[in-house]
Amino acid sequence: MVEPVYTCKFGGSSLATGERVARVAELIKSDPRRRYVVVSAPGKAPQRQTKVTDLLYAVHENKRLGLDYQTANKEALRPFEEIAYHLDEILGGLGLVEVEYENVLRAHTQLLQEQEVSRDFLASRGEYLMARLLAIYLGWPFVDAEDIVRFTSQGVFDSELTHRLMSEALAKYPKAVIPGFYGSTPEGYIKTFSRGGSDLTGAIVARATNSVLYENWTDVDGMMSADPRIVPDAKPISQVTYRELRELSYMGASVFHEEAVTPARLGEVPIQIRNTFNTEALGTVIMHESQRIAHPVVVGVAGHKGFCTINLRKMGMNEERGFLRRFLSVLEDEGLNVEHVPGGIDTLSVIVPSEQVHTCETHLEQEIRLYCHPDEVVIDHGLALIATVGHGMKDTVGVAARLTGALARDGVNIKMLNQGASELSIIVGVVEDDYERAIRAIHQEFFSA
């Protein structure tokens, strides 16, 4: 019988100090199913308010400018030295971890002195050095993400090549520690994911090792039904589907990197978000819809500020073939990301991030008039979007009515409303001044006892 395998990923807050790394090691050793461990760089500690990754970015910038980078490098390495010292004390103060790890740090510093290194390379060293240290302390093999995570020459993540390389490599190890956040191109250059990309590495490892569970350890008890800074009585979400998570993450819920859902879904690996500092909490399990036990109408509410609407009015627009294509081509040429496209017979609106429009607003309006010949163009800033998400909405009558009624009772005017084709989410647009009030009103409607 094949032993079940867990993949675990530990975030920066779980690894910020020697005490926390020791706690992580005990968690790993407490369950023999935890056999593949992915780590982030150490996060902020009570006595250290700058993240290691940010310090490493400073090292690169100073080196690039020909300034003193060695002082910044020493500052970036200090957290690792402190963690190594603490772990040695736990083992009896014999210096076994420090002696072996000192060689790792010395090699890093020597490489900096002898070679020109990229910004991505420096950024990746936080995860690399943390994984090397934890592997030494656990006595486990270290497997470098550089060898098993692949990007194309253009810097695009190569999912299937990575899956093949990782599956073959990790099959040789019954357990291993792997750094998150980075991989390499065919030319051998280090390439990083976006921030939070260690979540993605963990999901890739979970798929490649046929894990039955991907535990994502962080500093919260799981996903909440709304941002607790806005809704103090937000409730933990016990179960959420992959698709629901992507909707919530896209609209601002930041507990888990939304791109990490894809490899887990492909491998049908449930994801469990756990709290390193409250191991009794059950957390949130992210799973396929068919695996779910409970089917609430709404699982969560999330949103963003910082959008604007580009409103066009033109008589006979609906009869003009190619109008929408020309309009969207203008937005594409300006590099704008379109969020939603509500419209009517003679009107059309698109919702885009305001920060993208601010830099090109005058030119954008000129291009729209040139290629689309509208009767009127109006660009309105100050819009917030709020997503109410849940698979249960498609089988429940009156969800939209409850949502709009809740907003009306609280005096919130709806500027835009859009329900996705899958009926998985309802998006409303409100003015930014009403954003927090709208979130609380929607949450009260669907989550009050």
Q: How far apart are CA 159 and CA 64, in angstroms?
A: 32
Contact 346, 317 (CB under 8 A): yes
Closest CA to 204 of 79, 353, 36, 42: 36
Burial of residue 178, with CB atoms counted within 10 A of its CB: 0-12 exposed, 13-18 middle, 19 or more buried: buried
Q: How far apart are CA 157 and CA 182, in angstroms?
A: 10
Beta strands in 276-405 (DSSP E): 284-287, 300-313, 347-353, 376-389
User: Residue 232's CB: how many other CB atoms inside 10 A?
Assistant: 8
Give the up-direction half-sphere exposure of residue 247: CA atoms within 13 A in the CB hemisphere.
24
Write the pLDDT tens digit of every residue in 295-331.
788 999 999 999 999 999 999 988 888 999 999 999 9
β-pairing verdict for 213-218 and 271-275: parallel
Of the candidates 255, 196, 257, 259, the one whose C-alpha atom is nearest the C-alpha of residue 226 is 255
> In the prediction, which pLDDT does 372 show?
93
Helix, strand or coil for residue 190? strand
Average pLDDT, the chain: 92
For residue 1, pLDDT beyond 60? no
pLDDT, one tens digit per residue, over 187-237 is 999 999 987 789 999 999 999 999 999 999 999 888 899 999 999 999 889
Evaluate if residue 291 carries a pLDDT over 70: yes
pLDDT at position 339, please? 86
The pLDDT tens digits of the residues spanning 331-376 come to: 999 999 998 888 788 899 999 999 999 989 999 999 999 999 999 9
Helix axes 70-90, 119-138, angle to 10 degrees: 10
Q: Among candidates 285, 309, 252, which has minimal Cα distance to 439?
A: 252
What domains are defined for the chain? 6-219 (3.40.1160.10), 300-447 (3.30.2130.10)
Q: What is the pLDDT of residues 365-420, one digit of tens each?
A: 999 999 999 999 999 999 999 999 998 888 889 999 999 999 999 999 999 998 86
In the beta sheet, which residues pair with residue 241? 287
165 three-state secondary structure: helix
